[in-house]
């Protein structure tokens, strides 16, 4: 596929910031991870993965690890241990080819269930950022933690920015001259600066910053044990369902034969290698989420040029600004990130439209309910069992 760097690729490149930035902010500020390590891992993974797969590919925080880690304020040692364990598991599955066997037994209805559930989760997370009820906003005690203005009259500023930029996104969603993603991010940063976020830039110093090796030291045995039971065990089925199987399926749906390199084995090896690097430099566990791919595609990404753009930006932030890199990203209001997340979730949920049979739709709905009540890992397991029971005629709908 020909690589393009036009305005649509620029717009698509920033489409997944709504997922990435809130979780990255949380893991840096609450878990104490290295901003240099976090953003360098993300940037290099975007570039290397885009270069190999030759189609747009997403880079996202692993949801179970990041969400639980932030909620429990886990130490950097536990987060690093989880990254190492996940890297070993993914490399083993990819190198041995066992992931192909796993993928072969997953029915298509379950893949659609994973995509639908992930899409709805992104929609709800986007709405919570706009409403000001996201966990990060609650912890910081403000709907817009980095702005000087928190409301206009009785209306929270996150709702004001969310509604305004949401309307702009709807109006520009298919506009190639003024791509929605690019307009929303650039104008959002300008609005954020005008509303007080410019103060975040006063302490920024440009230089050359390289990450340290194991900046928090080698994780202890207790770190590995806790990480395995609390983070890795529930993350694995979610990664298999969303970042491998559903992602590969969605990439083929979007790009056809151009995505022939996006195989289950290649995705596992890519994520495993990235998490080896991330663990060594104090970064966060990362994956190739289907929701991220939907976000990039929704806002215009059609070639791996979008990966080079966003990857280059993150590498530049990490290398030239180091720990100050996070301050630049604070220019984007939470309401704007919520809009990006909301529209990427709707794009992913629309993959449901090719589900025609009543039994397959039942599987998708059950998986959505379990995801909202518990988590996607449980939904993935139940969905596989339910799909096979329906296929064998053990139950009927």
pLDDT at 396: 72
The string of pLDDT tens digits covering residues 148-169 is 999 999 999 999 999 999 999 8
61 phi and psi, to 5 degrees?
A: -65, 145
pLDDT at 21: 83
Domain annotation covers residue 1: no
CA 320 to chain centre: 24
Domain annotation covers residue 2: no
Domain annotation covers residue 254: yes
Nearest 5°: CA angle at 269, between 265 and 271?
A: 120
User: For residues 188 and 333, is the Cβ–Cβ distance under 8 A?
Assistant: yes
Question: First-to-last CA distance in the chain?
Answer: 43
Domain annotation covers residue 46: yes
Domain annotation covers residue 332: yes
Q: How many CA atoms lie within 13 A of 19 on its CB side?
A: 32
Report the distance separating Cα 195 and Cα 332, nearest Å: 11
244: containing domain: 7-390
Average pLDDT over residues 217-244: 88
Count of structural domains, the chain: 1
pLDDT at 13: 93
pTM: 0.82
The string of pLDDT tens digits covering residues 295-322 is 899 889 999 999 999 999 999 999 999 9
Alpha-carbon dihedral 344, 345, 346, 351, rounded to 10 degrees: 100
**Residue 71, pLDDT above cutoff 70:** no
What's the token pair of residue 205? Answer: 């110093």
Band the pLDDT of 391: cuts 50, 70, 90.
Answer: confident
- Let me know how long the chain is: 397
**Residue holding tokens 């706009």?**
130
The string of pLDDT tens digits covering residues 38-70 is 999 999 999 999 999 999 999 999 887 887 787
Band the pLDDT of 386: cuts 50, 70, 90.
Answer: very high
From residue 176, how far is each of 18, 107, 183, 185 by CA, in Å?
21, 37, 11, 16
User: For residues 366 and 382, is the Cβ–Cβ distance under 8 A?
Assistant: yes
Domain annotation covers residue 396: no
Domain annotation covers residue 198: yes
pLDDT at 31: 86
Domain annotation covers residue 397: no
Average pLDDT over residues 31-40: 92
What's the token pair of residue 230? Answer: 């609390």
How many beta carbons lie within 10 A of that of residue 346, not counting itself? 16
SS3 content of the chain, % helix, strand, coil (to 5): 70, 0, 25
Report the distance separating Cα 117 and Cα 384, nearest Å: 14
The string of pLDDT tens digits covering residues 123-156 is 888 898 899 998 778 888 899 999 999 999 999 9
pLDDT at 308: 97
How many beta carbons lie within 10 A of that of residue 75, not counting itself? 17
CA 368 to chain centre: 19
Largest CA distance in the chain: 66
**Residue 278, pLDDT above cutoff 70:** yes
For the ranges 189-198, 329-338, 387-396, which has the lowest average pLDDT?
A: 387-396
Average pLDDT over residues 205-219: 91
């Amino acid at each position: 596929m020909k690589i393009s760097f036009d305005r649509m690729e620029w717009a698509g490149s920033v489409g997944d910031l709504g997922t990435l930035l809130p979780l990255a902010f949380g893991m840096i500020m609450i878990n104490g991870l290295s901003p240099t390590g976090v953003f360098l891992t993300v940037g290099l993974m975007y570039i290397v993965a885009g270069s190999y797969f030759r189609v747009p590919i997403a880079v996202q925080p692993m949801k179970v690890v990041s969400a639980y880690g932030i909620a429990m304020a886990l130490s950097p040692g536990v987060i690093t241990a989880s990254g190492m364990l996940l890297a070993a598991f993914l490399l083993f599955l990819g190198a041995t080819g066992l992931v192909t066997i796993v993928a072969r037994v997953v029915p298509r209805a379950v893949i659609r269930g994973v995509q639908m559930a992930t899409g709805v989760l992104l929609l709800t997370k986007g709405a919570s950022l706009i409403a000001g009820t996201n966990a990060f906003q609650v912890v910081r005690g403000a709907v817009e933690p980095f702005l000087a203005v928190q409301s206009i009259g009785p209306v929270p500023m996150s709702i004001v920015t969310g509604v305004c930029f949401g309307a702009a996104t709807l109006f520009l969603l298919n506009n190639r001259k003024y791509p929605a993603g690019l307009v929303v991010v650039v104008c959002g940063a300008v609005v954020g600066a005008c509303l007080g976020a410019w103060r975040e830039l006063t302490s920024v110093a440009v230089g050359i910053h390289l990450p340290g090796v194991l900046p928090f030291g080698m994780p202890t045995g207790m770190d590995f044990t806790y990480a395995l039971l609390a983070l890795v065990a529930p993350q694995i089925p979610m990664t298999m369902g969303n970042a491998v199987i559903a992602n590969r399926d969605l990439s083929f749906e979007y790009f056809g034969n151009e995505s022939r390199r996006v195989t289950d084995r290649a995705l596992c090896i890519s994520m495993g290698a990235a998490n080896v690097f991330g663990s060594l430099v104090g970064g966060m566990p990362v994956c190739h989420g289907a929701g991220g791919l939907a976000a990039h595609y929704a806002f215009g990404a059609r070639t791996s040029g979008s990966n080079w753009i966003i990857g280059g930006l993150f590498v530049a932030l990490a290398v030239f600004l180091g720990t100050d890199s996070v301050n630049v990203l604070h220019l984007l209001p939470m309401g704007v990130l919520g809009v990006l997340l909301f529209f990427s979730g709707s794009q992913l949920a629309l993959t449901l439209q090719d589900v025609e049979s009543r039994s397959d739709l039942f599987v998708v709905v059950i998986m959505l309910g379990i995801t909202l009540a518990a988590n996607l890992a449980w939904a993935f397991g139940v969905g596989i069992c339910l799909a096979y029971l329906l296929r064998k005629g053990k139950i009927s709908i």
